[in-house]
Amino acid sequence: MKDLQKEANHKEDMISYAEATAEQPITKEDKIIEKLLKIQQDLSTNISGLNQFDERPSE
């Protein structure tokens, strides 16, 4: 039950944040952060894929 309440509060916080920032223009910094997050996701995916072929003995 506490988890559901936590999740509900988080969703409310996110909605409040979205409403507060909806009127603000997207800044150059925001665009850079979005691009960096995309690169981070791509790198994580590639590393996970490479780990499948890791032939070193596991410890």
User: What pTM was computed for the model?
Assistant: 0.47
Whether the predicted pLDDT of 35 surpasses 80: yes
Q: Report domain extents, the chain.
A: 25-59
CA distance 3 to 55: 40
What's the pLDDT band for 47 if we cut at 50, 70, 90? very high
What mean pLDDT value characterizes the chain? Answer: 80
The pLDDT of residue 30: 86
Q: What is the mean pLDDT of residues 3-26?
A: 70
CA distance 45 to 38: 11
